[in-house]
Amino acid sequence: MRLAVYITFLFIPEIIWASDYSTQVKNITIEKGTDNYNLDANISYSLSPVAKEALQKGIPLTWTVLIKIKKEGLLWDSTLEELILNFQLQNHALLNLYSIKSESTGKQDMFSTFAGALDYMSRIRDLPIINKTLISPDQAYYVVVKVDFDHESLPVPIRPFSYFDQQWALSSSAKLCPIKN
Amino acid sequence: MSNKKLKIPVSLSIIFLFGLILLSLQLMSTATQESSELSDIYSWLLIGNSLGSVGLFVLIGINVYSLARELKKREAGSRLTTRMISLFVLLSIAPAAIVFYFSVQFLNQGIDSWFNVEIDRAMEDALELSAESLDQRKRLHLKQARNLVKEVVGKSQTLIALEMGELLESVEATEIALFSRQGHVIASESMDSNDILPLLPKEHVWLHVRQNQDYVAFNPTGEELLIQVIVPVADDEPRYLQVLFPVPMRIADLTDSIDFAFIRYQEMTFLRNSLKSSFILVLSLVLMLSLLAAIWVAFVSIRHIVAPVKELVRGTRAVANGNYRQQLSVVTQDDLGFLVESFNDMTLRIASSQDEITAASTEVEQQRAYLETVLANLTAGVISFGASYKIITANQAAYRILHIPVSHFVGQTLLDVIVRHPELTQLWESIQELLEEAEDIWQQRFTFLGPNGRQELLCRGTPLFSPVGERVGSIVVFDDVSDLIQAQKNAAWGEVAKRLAHEIKNPLTPIQLSAERLQHKLASELSESSAKILQRSTQTIVNQVEAMKSMVDDFSEYARPSKKQVEYINLNLLINEILALYILQTDIKIVTAFSTENIVIEADPVSIRQVLHNLVKNAQEAMNDKGKIEIKLDKVVRNNTEYAEFSIYDDGCGLTEKQIETIFEPYVTTKAKGTGLGLAIVKKIIEEHGGVIWVDTTYNKGAGFVVQLPTVLI
């Protein structure tokens, strides 16, 4: 049934436009906590020259980390939980700072270096994803993590073209990780 | 009717479509502006309009395909529609292309004019100035922080905690805090009494300061802009002093303003080409959508305009094909509608006239059919001729009388018929002459040799004139009067025979008796020589009287109606029986060709035997006892009746044309001895039995006779 998930994600343009600048989801680990299952993930963001230039020019770039907890079924896998994390990265030239704003939490963090900002976005630590009581021991579950670059947050003039430009193909493919009961 | 009510008018649909397109384009135009709330749905609007364009393109494609098929089939109105649409497309695309070209030029120039080197430099200078100003402040606060470090070096945690307030006031900071190496708060003091905990440095800040480096950075917190300074405190146990300095409100506002303006300008610079492309894309989409909509509307409108013309062409074709009842629906009340109404009036009148013509034609046809029936059933032959003496009609009786299918020669003259049937040359030439010369009704009797022997025709001809007196043709009516004339002749001969019997036979008996009495009374009284003379004379008288009696008896027999005793006769057997009497008599060879099946007739055997004897004997005498006689017997069908055909041919001296004409008349003979009644009696017997006999004129090696008698089925 994981195949169905892959097929589903096939329809996402970023996969079609997969390029050298695609984000990569690495090292997903799921640990059983006291009440919840907690997720750790490392994400590698790599910006294309055009995207870097846009960032330097002050254009905010937004990524959405989509985390889905799925239960395997006979014909179709069902989604138990869905979490969304947003990161909006912007450069403030005057203050020489990079800000990362999260719409989901409303929190804003400032970084004096670009590497520091990327490092902050790339590490997800101890994120509670599902309550342990919702996981049945005789069922198979897995987590899908995918990072989408939000083209719609780009300025209007560049928006339609970004869908067809590999320089803006900054999304990742989906990465799956089983949940061990 | 209900469907008509439900149907949305074309004009309303067009207005709705254009309204929809204008709304969509307006939304997209508004969405192009960054500040607009519609910018969030910009992509969807773009997709929607693109799909609209594709939809219109498909609609136009279907219309073009449909029009091309109509053109190929040469359907009514297709060429007019093509011309009108081509003209419309040409007239709409040309100015639109010009406007598009100049719009793109203006757009490019307009966007380019937003940017120039002076503005770039001014913006960069402003940023540098601001950054320099802020950096000076950062350097100042770093120096202050370092000075504070000197105040806390070597002091205990308790003492430092007590002096924190003074230190804070001395540098006019917002917050001051001392952290252990592990990042734990050792002591802190804030201007805001609500702040229990100091601002905790981020992890990446810790990484930076743990390398014994000073950390100075702006830290925007809420509406306030702070300068965060962290400097290491060089003690036995490394500690870190964090001081937060406020940036004055005015400077913070100016910083925000310059930051915003610079970012905005930089963004515009980055999007310069994209902006052009974006505007051109929108402009192209607007133009394409408008043009496609206009072309589609042109298709709909022109088809609507051309519809009455198509109807008219269809109607005209129907009329040309003979459908005079064609009525067209009047859709519009304009000039074309008036034209359609006029067409309907015209077809109505034509249909009415056509009905009258059809009725008249039917009546004429009925009359003609009636006339043809009458003519066909007439016993007299009728042939009508046109002005140039060409045959127009000929009835069935003409064929029956002449034995020529005259109706097959319709459209030809009688002289043309001669070529195919030369046996009637004299007859046709005579009639042709009369047709050409006669100015009034004429009547004439013609004799000719037909295939069944001599025939006599009584012809009457009438020239035909038009109402204005012009000769338009003529008509010839003729009857076969052969039988009538023959009957008249037979009756006349019968009368002669009766008179002969009465006037001649009666005196013969006293003459004979007187001669015998003279012989009886005077024979003894005369000398021997005289007696011999008397004997010879009286004997001659008696013989001649006997001969005359016999002749008169023959005439009587010819004139007297026969008393037939009919019975079934097998003709094959009867002929063979009679021929057996003649085969051994002379050197004449008799050849027979009989039908394999038995042919039976119902007749008086004595009479038929007499006929056969007469015919065989005549043939035998014609050949001087030497030659060949050919006898045939077969069945033929004539006028749906089956006949036994008996024919006899000899190779004797034959018959002249004149002899053929009178051969069956009494007293006609070619022999030295004979009364000339033989064939006359034969003909009489055959006719009394419902048969016919004629001389076969096609046989030219001698004489040939053909006898036909009706057969019976047993």
Burial class (CB in 10 A: 0-12, 13-18, 19+), B534: middle
Coil, helix or strand at residue B459: strand
Identify which of A56, A119, A155 has the shortest CB distance to residue B204.
A119
Mean pLDDT of chain B: 83
- Laid out side by side, the sheet with B391-394 consists of B391-394, B381-386, B471-480, B453-465, B442-450
Contact A116 B204 (CB under 8 A): yes
Min distance B74 CA to chain A CA atoms (Å): 46
What is the average pLDDT across B479-494? 80
Q: CB contact, 8 Å: B127 with chain A?
A: yes
Q: How confident is the model at residue B366 (pLDDT cuts 50, 70, 90)?
A: very high
Same-fold call for B137-262 versus B378-480:
yes
Res B419: pLDDT: 81
Q: CB contact, 8 Å: A157 with chain B?
A: yes
Res A63: pLDDT: 94
Q: CB contact, 8 Å: B133 with chain A?
A: no
A99, β-bridge pairs: A90, A110
Q: What is the DSSP letter of B248?
A: P
Res B639: pLDDT: 61
- B378-480 has which fold? Beta-Lactamase (3.30.450)
The chain B residue lying nearest A92, using CA atoms, is: B259
- B137-262 has which fold? Beta-Lactamase (3.30.450)
Residue A105's domain spans which residues? 2-179
Among B68-72, B235-239, B429-433, top mean pLDDT goes to B68-72
Q: Give the CA distances from residue B163 to residues B141, B169, B227, in Å, rounded to whole numbers and listed in that order.
A: 19, 10, 22
Tokens read off for B225: 């802009």
Is residue A13's pLDDT more than 60?
no
Q: How confident is the model at residue B450 (pLDDT cuts 50, 70, 90)?
A: low
Res B453: pLDDT: 58
Res B675: pLDDT: 66
Burial class (CB in 10 A: 0-12, 13-18, 19+), A5: buried
Pairing mode of beta strands B628-638, B589-594: parallel
Q: CB contact, 8 Å: B126 with chain A?
A: no
What is the average pLDDT across B149-163? 82
Q: How confident is the model at residue A38 (pLDDT cuts 50, 70, 90)?
A: very high
Contact B255 A54 (CB under 8 A): no
Res A26: pLDDT: 87
Residue with the two structure tokens 């003690």: B235
Give chain A's domain count: 1
What is the average pLDDT across A71-92? 89
Range of weakest confidence among B325-329, B451-455, B633-637: B451-455
Is residue B213's pLDDT more than 90?
no
Q: Are A17 and A166 in contact (CB under 8 A)?
A: yes
Is residue B647's pLDDT more than 90?
yes
Residue with the two structure tokens 């002093």: B241
Domain ranges of chain B: 2-114+271-316, 137-262, 322-377, 378-480, 487-559, 567-710
Instruction: State how far the Cα of B176 lies from the Cα of B229, in Å rounded to an integer.
Output: 10
Is residue A143's pLDDT more than 90?
yes
Min distance A139 CA to chain B CA atoms (Å): 39
Res A15: pLDDT: 43
Q: How confident is the model at residue A3 (pLDDT cuts 50, 70, 90)?
A: very low
Half-sphere CA count of B147, side-chain side, radius 13 A:
10
Tokens read off for B123: 């913006």
Tokens read off for A54: 């846009």
A-B contacts at Cβ under 8 angstroms: 88
Q: How confident is the model at residue B32 (pLDDT cuts 50, 70, 90)?
A: low
Q: Give the CA distances from residue B453 to residues B52, B181, B216, B483, B491, in Å, rounded to whole numbers and listed in that order.
A: 99, 159, 152, 12, 21
Q: Are A59 and A151 in contact (CB under 8 A)?
A: no
Is residue B7's pLDDT more than 60?
no
Res B459: pLDDT: 92
Most distant CA pair in chain B: distance in Å? 234
Is residue A5's pLDDT more than 70?
no
Amino acid at site A144: V
Q: How confident is the model at residue A8 (pLDDT cuts 50, 70, 90)?
A: very low
- Cα angle at B354 between B349 and B355, to 5 degrees? 100
Q: CB contact, 8 Å: B287 with chain A?
A: no
Min distance B62 CA to chain A CA atoms (Å): 29
Res A147: pLDDT: 94
Q: Out of 3.10.180.10, 3.30.2320.50, 3.30.300.30, 3.30.565.10, which CATH number does the structure's domain B567-710 have?
A: 3.30.565.10
Using alpha carbons only, how large is chain B's radius of gyration in Å?
70
Q: How confident is the model at residue A142 (pLDDT cuts 50, 70, 90)?
A: very high
Q: Best mutation site among B123, B270, B278 for testing chain A: the one with the most A CBs within 10 Å? A: B270
Coil, helix or strand at residue B26: helix
| Residue among B9, B12, B14, B11 at smallest CA distance from B293 | B14
Q: Give the CA distances from residue A160 to residues A140, B54, B272, in Å, rounded to whole numbers and listed in that order.
A: 40, 17, 15
What crossing angle do the helices spanning B249-270 and A49-56 adopt, rounded to 10°? 150
Which of A 20-59 lie inside 8 A of B, CB atoms?
Answer: 53-54, 56-59
Tokens read off for B89: 């497309």
Min distance B18 CA to chain A CA atoms (Å): 25
Q: Best mutation site among A52, A95, A100, A108 for testing chain B: the one with the most B CBs within 10 Å? A: A95
Range of weakest confidence among B291-300, B311-320, B325-334: B325-334
Between B563 and B249, the higher pLDDT residue: B249
Tokens read off for B497: 């025979």
Tell me the ipTM for this assembly: 0.73
Q: How confident is the model at residue B264 (pLDDT cuts 50, 70, 90)?
A: confident
| Residue among B444, B447, B474, B437 at smallest CA distance from B459 | B444
Q: Are B459 and B443 in contact (CB under 8 A)?
A: yes
Q: How confident is the model at residue A16 (pLDDT cuts 50, 70, 90)?
A: very low
Res A12: pLDDT: 47
The chain A residue lying nearest B254, using CA atoms, is: A94
What is the average pLDDT across B203-230? 82
Q: Are B474 and B461 in contact (CB under 8 A)?
A: yes
Is residue B171's pLDDT more than 80?
yes
pLDDT in tens, B540-555: 888 888 888 877 777 7
What is the average pLDDT across B468-473? 86
